[in-house]
A and B are shown apart, each in its own frame.
Chain A
Amino acid sequence: MFNPFEDFKDFLSKTRGLPLDRLAAAHDQIIGELTGGYGKLVEQELKSLVWFVEHNRVIEAYKTASEVIRDIDYDAHSIEDFCYALDSGADIPYLISGPAGIYVAALCNHTPEDQIVLRLGEMQRTLHFLGYRLPYGKSLRLEGDAGNFTGSALQGGEISITGSTGDWTGAGMTDGKVTINQHCGRNTGEWMQGGEIWVGGRIRGLGRMTAGCIYQGGEAVAGDALR
């Protein structure tokens, strides 16, 4: 039978395989896996229609997030790209700020790199819980604004934010340092048990803290340093 593709039987491709093909494909795969992991978390968390911030629920979500990312091989840049993928909504149908932030926090805490830079300034929405439970020895630099509960339950890590944060910044942190170049919201340092929060601009309201210290414009405004 006549083969309509006969003219191409001797075709030899002149295309040169570049490392870029592999690098870009590997990156896409990682983002795909991270997206898949987030999907699993959301599936778990969205059994009820509304996601409430409850202590146990946050812990549970973080635990689930840590489990689903356990076998994913990713780096800090992938985390940032994943955040933008979340924000664009192109491949990920829903961004729920709470679980999304906890998921990103889990990613930061489990990445092998100690210094993480997330340039999130162009995101349309902000994520909550960024820097949640960031452990000793890790630093997280957030370029742009962050949402509520930034640096909550901080466990010795260092977070710096070039923009502003929302309410409950550093809530329940036990140790470490949160530096906010601009402003932060209400209940800053609520249930804080140690560590420092440095705010360059305005603090809309302080929370009830047990220990630690909060500075505004370089001067202590609450906590151990005043005692």
Chain B
Amino acid sequence: MEKQLKELQQLLEQLWPEVRRRHLFPEIPPPRFDSNNSTVAMEMRNKQIILNPEYVRTMSRTLPANAVLEALLDHGISHYTCCPWDLSTHLRFYARAKEILGEGDLARKATDLFMDVVADTHAVKERQSSLPLLYKSGIRTELEEIICSLYERIWGVDLGCSKEDETVSRLATIPYLDKGRWMASLSRFIRGIRPHLEESASHIADEHTRMGKHGFQQYAPEDIEQALREFAVEADSPEQFADIFEDLQSQLQEVDGDVDEGMGHGAGSPVDANRLYYMKLAENYALPLRRKDMKGSGHLHPHSHRPWEVCQPFQDLDPWCSFGKYLPGITQIWQRKEGQIYGRKEKTPSCLVIIDSSGSMVDPRTHLSYAVLGGGCAADTYLRHDAEVAVYNFSDALAGGKEYLPFTRSRSLIYRVLCRYFGGGTALDLDEITGVAETSEADIFLITDMQITNLDQTISRLSRLRNRVTAVHVGKKSGALRFVKASVKNKNISVFGVNSSNDIPRIVLGSARNYLAPE
């Protein structure tokens, strides 16, 4: 047994360079064997292909071992170089499949099958793969029979399939290799394969094909953050993001149980999908800022040397570097330069984000809340500028409907409070807010629909503050107009309205840019 494994390992090492060459040298680690007591041929973990020696041995009875290995490597590499290529694409597929099929396990199977068809077809078309030989041999499950019939039809090879049914006809016209149409193709694929998937779900476990399942654990940790950031933009709602994220998280935890750190959370804290959604979404609106403003000192100082020319004044000559000569081209003159000093010690102020989570505002758990997104963008901007952020989340604050997070640099805590939803009435505890604002001299970001019971007092108290206030009103409710009119005279208050999806981040960042990154 040991000897056989050694021989297989040697063969694998011999074949690997050639397979890599055919696939244009993908940057993945060399494959290895690992007996996993499963019937599937391979799996991928952290970009590495792990082959099942048992499967290779079994298949080698009817096929040359090198053909089996090459076919398996082609399959694995094509997943890496063609479809899905990255976790972002994989998540997008999975989300679409789950939207159609409703159930996570079915969605995963459908996604895996689709990715298999694309990757295999790519390998056969572009990389002269021996995959057809592999698919021709061995015992097939019902689903595999359909997929093999499909391959027979679309690859034009004899795989010894007898199945010639309506499903295969449906699937055979899908443009699998057209990346731009993958999402539409996946939907078509699922429509075609759905009855068989549902039928097989009852009696076949995870290993629905010999190629096994393609879990999310195949990706490197650095892929996860990027994928989540991209998926946050594409998700239809926070609920969909949370749903998909929880599936992703459970699969990753199955492997090593340590995904928190890569997702922007402190180790050990449970990942709140809703909070993560807004954190990742806000990252897409990141604003680059200059850290500290430099300005000219108004004084010139000798900076560097250059050769003296006759027309230039004598007072800047540097005799020490001129060999005691006054000769053009030899004598050196000081080049003066204005000094750079830090501008007035203007530390970036902290920010108090006041967010309305009353009943008239959108519940951030079910729908995209522009208020939370806007608050998140503002908080991120200040955090990136080394400032601190406090959050005051309120509905009817006077009746206890509020949560106050003191100034902190913990992004996770900030988003936890931003995402909290109270519902109910809307009133601000003005004494508390103005107290915080006056003692901290922080900038204030107020995000609300302006349906505040004590709006007049709010306007009056805010206008008396020396802090800079950015007020963002969501929608066009009557209070908004009153607020706008009342704040016209006050230079410390800027008011912005938001009526469509992308307005809030833009407005918030626009104000932040004015404050923090002066041109």
Interface residues in chain A, defined as those with a beta carbon under 8 Å from any beta carbon in chain B = 14-16, 18-20, 23-24, 26-28, 75, 77, 80-81, 84, 88, 117, 119, 122
Interface presence of B100 (CB below 8 A)? yes
B125 at the interface (CB under 8 A from A): yes
Give per-residue flags for B99-112: 1 if the beta carbon is below 8 A from chain A beta carbons, else 0: 01000000000000
Q: A88-B184, A117-B166 are in contact. Are A18 and B154 (CB under 8 A)?
A: yes
In the complex, how many angstroms separate the beta carbon of A96 from the nearest chain B beta carbon? 22
Q: Which B residue sits closest to A120, measured CB to CB?
A: B191
Contact of B227 with A by CB under 8 A: no
Contact digits for B145-166, partner A, Cβ 8 Å, 1 yes 0 no: 0000000011110000000001
Q: How far is the CA of A128 from the CA of B166 in the complex (A)?
A: 26
Determine if B173 and A24 form an interchain contact, defined as CB atoms under 8 angstroms apart: yes
Chain B residue at minimum C-beta to C-beta distance from A28: B175
Say whether A122 contacts B191, CB under 8 Å: yes
- Known contacts A81-B188, A88-B184; is A18 also within 8 Å of B121 by CB? yes
Contacts of A80 in B (CB 8 A): 191
> How far apart sit A144 and B173, CA to CA, in the bound complex (Å)?
23
Tell me whether B173 and A19 are in contact (CB under 8 A).
Answer: no
Q: Given A23-B153, A77-B169, are A16 and B125 also a contact pair (CB < 8 Å)?
A: yes
Residue of A20, A80, A81, A119 with highest tally of chain B CB at under 10 A = A20
Q: Which of B153, B170, B178 contacts A77 (CB 8 A)?
A: B170
Given A14-B128, A15-B125, A84-B187: A20 and B100 within 8 A (CB)? no
Known: A14-B126, A84-B187, A122-B100. 5 other contacts (CB 8 A): A18-B125, A18-B154, A26-B173, A28-B175, A77-B170
Nearest-neighbor residue (CB-CB) of A85 within chain B: B184
List the A side residues contacting B166 at CB < 8 Å: 117
How far is it, in angstroms, between the C-alpha of A119 and the C-alpha of B188 when the chains are bound?
10
Docked pose: A70 CA to B206 CA in angstroms: 47
Chain A nearest CB, measured from B149 CB (Å): 13
Tell me which residues across on chain B come within 8 A of A117, comparing CB atoms: 166
B125 & A19 in contact (Cβ 8 Å cutoff): no
* Chain A residue, CB-CB nearest to B178: A24
| B172 beta carbon closer than 8 Å to chain A | yes
Q: Is the CB of A19 within 8 A of B184?
A: no
Cβ-defined partner of A18 (8 Å) among B100, B155, B170, B188: B155
Complex CA distance for A81 and B175, rounded to whole angstroms: 13
Interface residues of B in 162-205 (CB under 8 A from A): 166, 169-170, 172-178, 184, 187-188, 191, 194
By Cβ-Cβ distance, the 4 closest A-B pairs, closest first, are A27-B173, A20-B154, A24-B175, A19-B156
Cα distance A27–B154 in the bound complex, in angstroms: 13
The residue on B at minimum CB distance from A30 is B173
What are the residues of chain B within 8 A of A77 when measuring CB–CB? Answer: 169-170, 173
Residue on B with the closest CB to A77?
Answer: B170
Interface residues on B, range: 20 to 34
CB neighbours of A14 from chain B (8 A): 126, 128
CA A28 – CA B178 in complex, angstroms?
12
Compute how far the CA of A24 lies from the CA of B155 in the bound complex, rounded to whole angstroms.
Answer: 12
Could you tell me if A16 and B169 are in contact, using CB atoms closer than 8 angstroms?
Answer: no
Complex: chain B residue closest to A115, CB-CB: B166
For B100, B173, B174, which residue has the most chain A Cβ atoms within 10 angstroms?
Answer: B173
What residues of B have a CB within 8 angstroms of the CB of A84 in the complex?
A: 184, 187-188
Least distance between A81 CB and chain B CB atoms (Å): 7
Most chain B CB inside 10 Å of its own CB: which residue of A23, A75, A80: A23
**A20 and B155 contact, CB distance less than 8 A:** yes
B124 in the interface (beta carbon within 8 A) = yes
Instruction: Please judge, given known A-B contacts A19-B154, A20-B155, whether A122 and B187 are in contact too, CB under 8 Å.
Output: yes
Within 8 Å CB of A119, what residues of B?
A: 191, 194
> Taking CB as reference atom, which chain B residue is nearest A26?
B173
A selection of 27 A-B contacts at a CB cut-off of 8 Å is A14-B126, A15-B125, A15-B126, A16-B125, A18-B125, A18-B156, A19-B153, A19-B154, A19-B155, A19-B156, A20-B121, A20-B125, A20-B155, A20-B176, A23-B153, A23-B154, A23-B172, A24-B174, A24-B176, A27-B173, A27-B175, A28-B175, A77-B173, A80-B191, A88-B184, A119-B194, A122-B100
Inter-chain CA distance A77–B173, complex, in Å, is: 9
In the complex formed, the residue of B with least CB distance to A75 is: B169
Q: Cβ of B184: which chain A residues have Cβ within 8 Å of it?
A: 84, 88
> Given A15-B125, A122-B100, A20–B187 Cβ distance below 8 Å?
no
B174 touches A16 (CB 8 A): no
| CB proximity of B429 to chain A, nearest CB, Å | 45
Contacts of B170 in A (CB 8 A): 77
User: Which B residues, 123 to 138, have Cβ-Cβ distances below 8 Å to chain A?
Assistant: 124-126, 128
Closest A residue to B169 by beta carbon equals A77
Q: How far is the CB of A73 from chain B (nearest CB, A)?
A: 13
Q: Which of B330-354 contact A (CB under 8 A)?
A: none
Question: Once the chains bind, are A20 and B169 in contact (CB under 8 Å)?
Answer: no
Given contacts A26-B173, A84-B187, contact A16 B153 (CB under 8 A): no
For the complex, what is the distance from the CA of A132 to the CA of B304, rounded to whole Å? Answer: 89
A26: chain B residues at CB < 8 Å are 173
How long is the Cα–Cα vector from A223 to B172 in the complex, in angstroms? 45
CB distance from A194 to the nearest CB of B (A): 31
Chain B residues with Cβ below 8 Å from A122 are 100, 187, 191
The smallest C-beta distance from A115 to any residue of chain B, in angstroms, reads: 9
- Chain B nearest CB: distance from A120 CB in Å? 9
What chain A residues lie within 8 Å of B100 (beta carbons)?
A: 122
Closest to A88 in B: B184
Contact of A23 among B128, B173, B187 (CB under 8 A): B173
For the complex formed, measure the closest distance between the CB of B86 and the CB atoms of chain A, giving whole angstroms.
24
- Cα-based distance from A81 to B153 in the complex (angstroms): 20
User: How far, in whole Å, are A80 and B170 apart by their CA atoms in the complex?
Assistant: 10
Distance between Cα atoms of A88 and B185 in the complex (Å)? 13
Q: Nearest chain-B residue to A80 (Cβ)?
A: B191
- Chain A residue with the shortest CB-CB distance to B153: A19
A119 to B125, alpha carbons, bound, how many Å? 31
